[in-house]
Amino acid sequence: NAAGVGDASAVRDALLTGALGAGVADWPKTLRELCDARVFPSAVDLVAIRQAYVDADTGAVRKARADAAGAADRFFLALLEVRRPAEKARALATRETFAPVLDALVGDLDAVARAATRAAASERLDRLAEIALALGDILRKEAEGGEGGSPNAKKEDAETYARFAPGGWRAGALARLAAPSASTGNLLRHLAKTVAAKSPDLLRVGEELPEAPRAKGSLSRERAEAGTRRGERGDDDDASLALASARLADLAAAVDGAAREAEASATGKDAAYGKKFARSLELFLEQARAGLRRARAAEAQAREATEALSEKFGPAPPGAAPEETLEALFSFVRAFETAAAETAAAKRARERAKRPGG
């Protein structure tokens, strides 16, 4: 009932023929919810249903008893003649939701590739990174008590600026600036003042970069609707290359499951009606395999672009995900832009205060 199945015979007919009739208002939603709830009868369930409702001598359903059955038993009775109903439902759900899920996945992978490519080509980002790393290295030496030393530097400063040592992970050092703390805030404000005074064009670094693939919540719900819920992405899930690859693997597994069910339906004991069900999947499976090839090509391009960016701003630490350098750089740019805006606002406030009557 929660899945919107008013007439169980509509589900039965869909699982027998692969055709989705008018008995259910929202077939993709209904099929997903039926699969998620695992309400399809097991072999044990079917034995119990047959014993309770089917006349052992005639093989006919006892009508009077069936008419008095509860909703769950009526649903099971409708599926008595369907073999592997759960597998068939998952195959149909995959068929009905594959296209939007694939398009969303390819779109995400293309966005990662585009962001990494443009970040690697950004002259402003290169120059801004050089200035930030140079400032960080100066403060690192001070925190260590070296030239211009500061032997009483706080432990937090020492830990922060240690990341700016030459030969380290440049993107990681920059990402450290995006982590809120007194020391990183001071460095960002100093960086913003330096850039505003000497290289104001770097304040527009974001113009050379596309909108960053969001670390969280970048997909809408309809883009996450996978037929079996495997690999589904919600509004609060990460939008990373690693997870996109996992979602692609899950989508491919769902297509493989649909192909196995199509073969079993065409050749198994349910072949009398199974061939019709298998034929309902033929065109989908052909298109799905082509779609998966397109997605794998997009995945390869995204991986190549992020690895090239990592090489430029590396070396990344062992075990780092391919997109960590990209995420680190965008975190730094966002933090810098915020610091630059705050610094500019503070400067305007000071100037207003100096005016007569200010």
pLDDT per residue as tens digits for the range 228-242: 344 444 433 345 788
Q: Which residues contact 155 (CB under 8 A, 6 or more apart)?
A: none
Beta bridge partners of 216: 238
pLDDT tens profile 261-305: 999 999 877 767 889 999 999 999 999 999 999 999 999 999 999
- At residue 264, the 3 state secondary structure works out as helix
With 0-12 CB in 10 A as exposed, 13-18 as middle and 19+ as buried, what is 137?
Answer: middle
Rounded to two decimals, the pTM is 0.77
Please provide residue 76's backbone torsions phi and psi, each rounded to the nearest 5 degrees: -65, -40
**Strands (DSSP E) found in 116-251:** none
CA contacts within 13 A on the Cβ side of 311: 7
Asked if residue 170 lies in contact with residue 129, where contact means CB atoms within 8 angstroms, the answer is: yes
**99 close to 276: Cβ distance less than 8 angstroms:** no
Cβ proximity of 83 and 268 under 8 Å: yes
Those residues with Cβ within 8 angstroms of residue 2's Cβ, 6 or more apart along the chain or in another chain = 33, 37
- Residue 28 bridge partners (DSSP): none
DSSP characters over 293-355? HHHHHHHHHHHHHHHHHHHHS-PPPTT--TTHHHHHHHHHHHHHHHHHHHHHHHHHHHHHHHS
- 252 vs 349: CA distance, rounded Å: 57
Helix axes 182-198, 123-143, angle to 10 degrees: 130
Expressed in angstroms, the distance from the first to the final Cα of the chain is 68
Report d(CA 285, CA 278) in Å as an integer: 10
| Confidence at residue 41, expressed as pLDDT on a 0 to 100 scale | 73
What is the H or E stretch that residue 234 is in?
none
Find tokens 């990460």 and name the residue.
238
Q: What is the pLDDT along the chain (358 residues), one digit of tens a residue?
A: 544 455 678 888 888 888 988 777 788 888 888 887 777 777 777 788 888 888 888 878 887 877 777 777 777 777 777 888 889 999 999 999 999 999 999 999 999 999 999 999 999 999 999 898 888 777 666 666 554 444 444 555 555 555 555 556 788 888 877 777 666 677 888 899 999 999 999 999 988 887 655 444 333 323 333 333 444 444 333 457 888 999 999 999 999 999 999 999 998 777 678 899 999 999 999 999 999 999 999 999 999 999 999 888 877 777 777 788 898 899 899 999 999 999 999 888 888 888 876 5
C-beta of residue 102 within 8 angstroms of C-beta of residue 94: no
